[in-house]
Amino acid sequence: MITSGAHAAAGGTLPAGSALLLVGLVCAVVGAILAGAVLDGRGARFTAITGGLLTAQALGHLTLVVAAGHHHGGLGVTWSMAAAHLAGAVLLGAAISVVEYLYLVCVSVLCWLRLFATARRQPAAPRRPAEPRQSFAQSVLWASGLGMRAPPLA
């Protein structure tokens, strides 16, 4: 909950109870909307993630101002509060972008390793049993004209 941490770092109080629940809900909704976006390129991902985090920071801060009754003057935005929220969003956006890129690298390496780790050698052809060296019966086709071809004796 970077919103709560940035809010407390700039002089606010840590939210508790329903205010914390509402901030979590607002941030989860913004995260779910951002997760559905299909983005190409690391720069676009970083920009979208940081923009989504800034939006979640702003909405979370407004939720804390309304729910917890903070009175910082106006909407509760001081220079130190805005700087803390901005720094938190940019640092977390950079961290998320780097982790996503490293995840893709690891998945790619593991897919290539899987090809070599699961490569199976072709099984040897099944051996036929060796034919016996002594023949106990002769083939009819190889027999000479004597024997079975002759007319019956009786």
Q: Nearest 5°: phi and psi at 18?
A: -70, -30
pTM above 0.75, yes or no: no
One DSSP character per residue, 43-83 reads: HHHHHHHHHHHHHHHHHHHHHHHHHHT--SSTTT--HHHHH
Please write the tens of the pLDDT for every residue from 97-116: 899 889 989 999 998 888 87
* pLDDT score, position 140: 61
Q: Residue 126: is its pLDDT beyond 90?
A: no
* pLDDT score, position 80: 78
For the residues 67-78, what does the mean pLDDT come to?
61
Percent of all residues in the chain with a pLDDT value above 90, rounded to a whole number: 8
Burial class (CB within 10 angstroms; exposed 0-12, middle 13-18, buried 19+) of 84:
buried
How far is 51 from 57, CA to CA, in rounded Å? 10
For the residues 4-31, what does the mean pLDDT come to?
74
DSSP assigned state of 10? T
Q: What band does 1 get if pLDDT is binned at 50, 70 and 90?
A: low
> Tokens 């490293």, residue?
102
Domain boundaries, the chain: 2-117
For the residues 27-37, what does the mean pLDDT come to?
84
For the residues 69-82, what does the mean pLDDT come to?
65
CA 123 from chain centre, in angstroms, equals: 35
* Cα-based distances in Å from 17 to 64, 80, 89: 11, 25, 24
* pLDDT score, position 149: 60
